[in-house]
């Protein structure tokens, strides 16, 4: 079973994403910020294959998390999707240039999530 990591400082958003991902067959891990996410990824090593990360979080934000993940060659295949309220084109561009595989704007639907996962080669 594929493992996904949801990184968002909103417990409600993590619950919504976790419910959807579990319905799609993922085993789900959660983190409230980028620091916790790095700890989960370090503990899980390459078992996590998908990260859904918010942009605005305390301690380490989503963009910084993305940059740190992309610095690790062993995580090159890790799919990172930004899931955020940041809707400015410049922010989307910054995330994609930093190595995000896709970008989902909140609010979103299950259909949008599935569509974006399919775009990055994950077929739930």
Does residue 83 form part of some domain?
Answer: yes
Q: How large a percentage of the chain has pLDDT more than 70?
A: 100
Which residues, 6 or more positions from 121, have their beta carbon under 8 angstroms from its beta carbon?
79
Tens-place pLDDT, residues 8-50: 999 999 999 999 999 999 999 999 999 999 999 999 877 999 9
- For residue 104, name the pLDDT band (cuts at 50, 70, 90): very high
Which residues, 6 or more positions from 43, have their beta carbon under 8 angstroms from its beta carbon?
none
Does residue 40 form part of some domain?
Answer: yes
Residue range 69-97: mean pLDDT, rounded:
91
CATH number of the domain that residue 88 is part of: 3.40.50.2300
Q: Number of folded domains in the chain?
A: 1
Q: Contact at 8 Å (CB) between 89 and 68?
A: no
- The whole-chain average pLDDT of the chain stands at 93
**Which residue range(s) make up the domain with 22?**
3-119
pLDDT of residue 77: 87
Does residue 103 form part of some domain?
Answer: yes
Does residue 124 form part of some domain?
Answer: no
Does residue 104 form part of some domain?
Answer: yes
Does residue 59 form part of some domain?
Answer: yes
């Amino acid at each position: 079973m594929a493992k996904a990591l949801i990184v968002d400082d909103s417990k409600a958003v993590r619950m919504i994403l976790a419910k959807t991902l579990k319905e799609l067959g993922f085993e789900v891990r959660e983190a409230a910020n980028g620091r916790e996410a790095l700890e989960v990824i370090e503990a899980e090593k390459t078992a996590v294959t998908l990260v859904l990360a918010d942009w605005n979080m305390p301690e380490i934000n989503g963009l910084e998390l993305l940059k740190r993940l992309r610095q690790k060659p062993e995580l090159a295949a890790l799919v990172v999707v930004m899931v955020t309220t940041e809707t400015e084109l410049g922010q989307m561009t910054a995330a994609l240039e930093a190595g995000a595989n896709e970008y989902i704007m909140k609010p979103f639907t299950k259909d949008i999530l599935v569509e974006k996962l399919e775009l990055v080669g994950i077929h739930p």
